[in-house]
Structures are given as C-alpha cells and as structure tokens.
Structure 1
Amino acid sequence: MVSVVGVAHSSSRIEDPKGDYVNLREAQAQNADDDDANNCCDDGVGDTGLVITRSRCWLVWWWARLIILLVFAGLLIAVSFKWVVPFLMNKEIIPLLNWERKTFSKPVLAAIIFASVAVFPVILIPSTPSMWVAGMTFGYSLGFLIIITAVPIGVSLPYFIGTLFHRRMEDWLGRDPKKASVIRLAGEGNWYHQFKAVTLIRISPFPYIIFNYCAVATNVKYVPYLLGTLVGMVPEIFVAIYTGIMIKTLADASNDNHALSATQIIFNVLGFALSITTTVIVTMYAKRRLKGMQKEEELLV
C-alpha cells in the first residue's frame, strides 16, 4: 500500500516538472508573439507619423510657394501699373477707345459685342477681347447681360455644325487619348452627370473653342451641354469684365494726364491679384474633380 502511494507520489513529481517546462515554453512563445505584435504596431505608428509629417511639410511648402508667387506677381503688377501700363495706354488703348467712342454709339457697340461673342467661336477666333470691351463700356451688369445672351449662340452653332463631322471628330479625339478621356466625361452617365462634367470642363483650362466642336463626339445631350456651358463660363466672364473695367480706369487716368494714387494702385493690384487667385483656385478644383470623375469611370469599367 505504501509502495503504491510512493509510486503515485513519485509519478506526480516526474510529471509536474515536465508540465512546468511545457508551460514555460508556451509562455515564452506567447511573449515572443506579443513582442512581435507590439513591434509591428510600433512600426505602423511610426510609418503613419512619418507620412503625416511629410504631408504637413509638403502643405507648408506649397503655401510658402504660393505666397512667394503672389508677392512676386504683386510687385510685377505694381511695376507694370507704374511704368508699362501708362506707356501702352497712351500709345494703343486711349487712341482705340477714342476712335470707338467717336465711331459707334452704345447701342451699336452692344450689337457688335453681341455679334462677336456669338460668331467668333464659330470661326475659331477668341471672343475675350470683346468681353473686355463690354466691361469697359457697359460695366458689370449690362456687360454680363450682353455676353451671357450671346454665349448660347456661340456654343450652339459649333455643336450642331459638329454633328455633320461626327466621324471626323471621333477620329481626331482618338489621336490624343489623354485629352479625349477628359472630353468623353461629358457624354457619360445621366443628365446631371453630363451637366456637371460640362461645367467642370468649361471652368478647367481646356480650350473653349475646341470643346465647342468636339463635344458632339462625346454624345453629350444638348440641354446639359448648354446649361453646363452657361454655368461654367460665369467665372471667365466676370474676370474678363473686371479686366475691361480696370483697363478703362487706367485709360481715364492716363487721358486726364494724372497718375493713379498709391491707394488706387494698391486697390487695383489687390483686386487683380484676387481675381487671378480665385480663378486659379476654381480651375484647380475643377481639374481635381475631373480627375476624380475619371477614376470613378475607370472603376465602373
């Protein structure tokens, strides 16, 4: 009886150390796994922090470059206002304005501006100078009204003319797949998608005259094409009108033989810089949204 108990007791002594050894190995393995997991988490956090730091540095550098560019542009504009602009005004702009005022009445000039904005895009001639004249002569309200009523004609005629050369337009787009991929966004999706794409294309720096003829090759519907064009051209029209008003202000100052005061120069420079900055920001946003729409279309395909 005693021997049996002793054997049982000795057996338990033999198993206990073995069991402790096994548990120790399992504990060491578990600790090693935990250390590896912690190291991985630390590396992940480090990589994320590095990415965030780089992103912040890039953002700071981008804003610094933008500020430097704006300061340089402001100085350049100020120098132009002081010396270059008066010379051009006396030699070119003032004689042209005087001839215009003596030759045409305001109703006739409004008709000329309307006709040029409506017809020039059809024959591939930029109509921006006509918008400048609208700003110089009629200001914001009436100038905008004249231009915006002529734009539908200027973009509709090329659209319908392009239908006669639909096959040639498609072949032409096929030669430049990168630009064609942007234009073809106008013909994708539903009515609202087409309207949004046309609006963004008009805001972006894509050539205005070329898109008038190429749009039909994307199979975009006429109504979203027209409405998107009207909305997308609003920033460009206001910048052109503002430019015309500023030219007229400088011409009047030169014609009266007195220089602009420091306050007038500062306000004109700030206003011009603000209009350019706003245009650049809106254009960058339009380009980014177009790229986003391109990626969405590629994912769907």
Structure 2
Amino acid sequence: MICRSVCCGAMTFRAQDAEGVVVLVTGLGAEDAIGDYVRLGDADAGSRGSKWSLIWWWLRVVLLCVFLCAAAVPLVIFVGPLIIRKVIVPVLNWETRTFSRSVLVLLLFASIALFPTFLLPSSPCMWIAGMTFGYGYGFLLIMVGSLIGMSLPFFVGSFFRHDLHRWLEKWPKKAAIIRLAGEGDWFHQFRAVVLLRISPFPYLIFNYAAVAANIKYGPYISGSAVGTVHEIFITIYSGRLIQSLADATNTGVFLSMQQIVYDAIGFCVAAAATAAITIYAKRTLRTLQAEDELS
C-alpha cells in the first residue's frame, strides 16, 4: 500500500496504491511536491540479511575448525610422539633427577612471577607446574605467581608512563581499546580488564600498557585475576594431557580407549570454551567502544 501525504497549507491528501511504498511529501503546494520514498519491506530485508550473515559467519567458523582438526590429525599421529619422545620425556626426566619438589616450587614460582617483567612467556613453567602439582597446588602456585607477574610490570611501568604513551601512539586501534578500559568507575575498569584478559589482546603488553590508560591498581589486579582463571585451568589441563602422553610414550604402553575418548572430549570442550569466551570478549569490547564513540 502507498500512503502519500501532501501538505498544502492546512490540507492533507492521501492516495493508495498496491506497491507497498510510503510516500511523504511536504511543500507549499501540490504542484511542488515530489516526495521521498521509503520501502516498508526494507527493514525486514535488512533483518533477514543480518541473520544470513550471522549464519554464514558461524558456518565459516565451523568449517575452519574442521579444517584445523583435519590438519592436526597427521601432526598428532606422526609428529606428536616424536616430539614427546625426543623433547618432553628427557626434560621431565631431567627435572625429576635434578630438583626436589621444594626447589622446583621455588624455581617455577620465580619464573612465573618474574618472566612477564622481561616480556618472556611463562606458559612452559605453567605446564610443568600443572604436570607436577596438578589442579590443586598447581593452580595456587600459578595464580599467586601470575598475580605477582602482572603486578611487577604495572609498578615498573608507572616510572615510564610518558614513554608508554608515546609507544602506544604507534598502534592507535589498540591504544583506543586500552584507553577505554581506563575510563569510568571502579566496576567499569574491572569489567574492561576482565574482557581484555580473556580476549586475544597481547598478555605481556597489557601488563605495561594498563599504566598508560590510567587504570587503577585495584580493578586492574582484580580483573586480571578473574580474567586469567580459565587460562590457568586450560594450561594445567594441557600440561596433564602432555604428561599422560609422555608417560605412555616412555613406558611403551598405549592409552586405553576410555582414556583416549576422555582426553579427546576434554580437549574439544576446552577449545570450544576458549573460542566462545574469546568471541564474547571481542564482541563486548567492540560494543563498549561503539558506545564510547557515540557518547
């Protein structure tokens, strides 16, 4: 139906047609009216298009995961046992022969706490902590060490605040996201830090860059603790999985079918959870950034 409104002084005329078009015409006279056409079906078409784009996006994600899994199968079957036998098993044997558990605790704790200050990854130390101490003591060891490892760069970076500002200017997009985290009240900063920790934003860089964004230490360390819990559990799980494969390779005993199924399901759940959390964090950060630009 076409509704045509023509304002001629105080008079309004409406005409109807069968094309489903709305025509709004304003002017001083009917002869001057041209009108702007707006299709009623455009909104529905836009919503259908957005739904199809979302479905297509998820389809591409699923296809990418299937492709990566298919590519990983030969690596796991042929390359994985070789790496475990030549690298991981000798390292584990050397570790157990050289250090006692108390000395190993001190070494792992110091590595996890100090490596981030020098921009060195501490994930291998977390794997060893998970292999050696499991989910209980291993989680406590990694969490306390990580909190110190995230605090030291924060305090060290406070002495180089102006240099960090100039350094961030080289990457304006990342700088905009970090500055967004420094705005608002305590809870806003806490939420932004949690999202940045679970997003793909570089972990070691954010330890220093948080100072340049004027984030307070309270929401920074609280948000960092919450945002790294899932990563610690996944690191411990992957370490335990590597250890079970190393033990099976070292002793020459194959894993039982039940253990293989359990490990496969656990790995898929961990990978899916990581992907879901990361996607949620990225979308929420984009939403916060868009709201900040509009305000």
TM-score, length-normalised on structure 1? 0.83
What is the identity, as a one-letter code, of the residue corresponding to 2:180? L
Distance change in 2, residues 1:267/1:179 (3 Å): same
Contact 1:77 1:269 in 2 (8 A): no
Equivalent in the alignment of 1:51 = 46
**Structure 2 residues without counterparts, runs of 5 or longer:** 1-11, 24-36
How far is 1:167 from its partner? 0.9
Equivalent in the alignment of 2:60 = 65
* CA–CA distance in structure 2, aligned partners of residues 242 and 196 of structure 1: 26
More strand by share: 2
Residue 206 of structure 1: SS of its match in structure 2? coil
How far is 1:81 from its partner? 3.2
1:177 is the counterpart of 2:159: no
Equivalent in the alignment of 2:216 = 221
1:286 to 263, 276, 281: 281
Contact 2:89 2:250 in 1 (8 A): yes
Equivalent in the alignment of 1:130 = 125
Contact 1:121 1:127 in 2 (8 A): yes
Equivalenced residues, count: 271
More helix by share: 1
* CA–CA distance in structure 1, aligned partners of residues 64 and 264 of structure 2: 14
Equivalent in the alignment of 2:17 = 35
> Could you give the per-residue CA deviations for residues 148-175 of structure 1, whole angstroms, max 9, x where no partner exists?
1112211111111111111111111122
| 1:75-154 → structure 2 map (5 Å cutoff) | 75-154=70-149
Which is bigger in relative contact order (C-alpha 8 A, separation at least 6)? 1
Q: RMSD of the alignment, in Å?
A: 2.2
Pair member with larger Rg:
1
Residue 40 of structure 1: SS of its match in structure 2? strand
How far is 1:104 from its partner? 1.2
How far is 1:298 from its partner? 1.7
Contact 2:20 2:39 in 1 (8 A): no
Equivalent in the alignment of 1:272 = 267
* CA–CA distance in structure 2, aligned partners of residues 38 and 210 of structure 1: 55
What is the identity, as a one-letter code, of the residue corresponding to 2:192? A
How far is 1:108 from its partner? 1.6
* CA–CA distance in structure 2, aligned partners of residues 295 and 61 of structure 1: 24
How far is 1:47 from its partner? 2.3
* CA–CA distance in structure 2, aligned partners of residues 79 and 154 of structure 1: 37
Contact 1:74 1:273 in 2 (8 A): no
What is the identity, as a one-letter code, of the residue corresponding to 2:252? N
Contact 1:81 1:265 in 2 (8 A): no
Equivalent in the alignment of 1:3 = none
What is the identity, as a one-letter code, of the residue corresponding to 1:279? T
What is the identity, as a one-letter code, of the residue corresponding to 2:22? C
* CA–CA distance in structure 2, aligned partners of residues 264 and 294 of structure 1: 45
Greater CA drift, 66-75 or 173-182: 66-75
Contact 2:21 2:40 in 1 (8 A): no
* CA–CA distance in structure 1, aligned partners of residues 75 and 260 of structure 2: 10
